[in-house]
Structure 1
Amino acid sequence: MSEDAHELSVTCPIAASPATCWTVWRDRKGEWFCPKPWRAEVIEEDMRPGGRSAVRMFGPDGEDSGPMEGVFLEVVPHERIVTTDAYAVGWVPQTPFLTAIWSFAPEGEGTRFTATARHWDAGAKARHLEMGFHPGWDAMMAQFKVLCEAAAVG
């Protein structure tokens, strides 16, 4: 099995520094985390290993995703954030779906942003594809790029 056999990812160049992208990721998640017209509400983001990551998404017709609960596994400012839903805060195991890896790599005068969903098995990866991984995460990435580039010039 290759290392990325259970991974799905999106990537793009952003005309903003890794520091700017990091700040947008951390402070403006409600504006980019899910495709519009859906909206995200951050419940808690305790950005340290073991800290709680909890976000809820709301749809235009009253849909409510319920809280997406997890923990931060790794936080390297301006470089990388890793979260997982395999644990709730306090390292309480729960049924996992994915580990998310967000990376901000210097590229020229900007940043190469990559968002990766690492699934526990091929079935979870297939379910995520069927749920619309690419339309959803592609839209998320495009929204994130716009916010980062506007922050870089504003």
Structure 2
Amino acid sequence: MTDQNAAHELSITRLIEASPEIVYEVWTQRAGEWWAPRPYTTPVIDWDLRPGGRARTVMRSPDGTDMPHEGVFLEVVPHRKIVVTDAFKPGWIPQQAFMVAIFTFEPEGSGTRYTARVRHWSEEAVQQHEQMGFHEGWSIVAGQLAELAEGGPVASAA
């Protein structure tokens, strides 16, 4: 990774005591249960998990405010890696870009090293994402993902 990439990257990582296959399955099949930090919810997950496929989510705040996010998947390697960006809408239609997110599921011991790296186009975007609560929020959702993958209690749908 170049220094420029490192300067514009935020990341979190967590060891999850479940296989990469299970973590990936929960990530892709049950995103509505873990994608947003509680008490936020994710009532809309519209994903076509293939390069160029739609990556649309809508997070909802406790006061009912919807926060839509539209993008496309760039790379999908089952059980190992997912790359998604908001630089495009489906059909490769350019839009105002904020980030590229890279999610990896690496075997480690009896579990999975889950890493979410987010690359931004500018230092201003990195600072904005940090001020939005990147580290806290993305750490919370990694914990929610781990809880589901490890067989913990499942949150009720909101």
TM range (shorter): over 0.9
Q: TM-score, normalised by structure 1?
A: 0.94
1:22 to 21, 24, 31: 24
Percent of pairs with identical residues: 51
CA shift at 1:41, angstroms? 2.5
In structure 2, the residue matched to 1:36 is 38
* 2:7 alignment partner, one of 5, 8, 31: 5
> What does the per-residue CA deviation read over 1:30-60, in whole Å, with 9 as the maximum and x for residues that have no partner?
1111100000133410000000000000011
Q: CA deviation at 1:117?
A: 1.1
Tell me the TM-score normalized by structure 2: 0.92
Aligned residues: 150
Alignment of 1:44-59 (within 5 A): 44-59=46-61
Deviations 1:66-96 (A, max 9, x none): x200000000000000000000000000000
What runs of 5+ residues in structure 2 fail to find an aligned partner? 153-158
Secondary structure of 2:74's aligned partner = strand
Q: Tell me the equivalent position of 1:127.
A: 128
Shift of residue 63 of structure 1? 1.4
> After the TM superposition, which parts of structure 1 deviate over 2 Å for at least 4 consecutive aligned residues?
none
**1:99-126 deviations in Å (ceiling 9; x for gaps):** 1111000001110000111111111000
**In structure 1, what is the Cα distance between the partners aligned to 2:133 and 2:107?**
29
User: Contact 1:29 / 1:42 at 8 angstroms: preserved in 2?
Assistant: no
SS at match of 1:118: strand
Q: Structure 2: how far apart are the matches of 1:78 and 1:62?
A: 34
Partner of 1:63: 65
Alpha-carbon RMSD across the aligned residues, in angstroms, is 1.1
What is the letter of the counterpart of residue 85 of structure 2? T
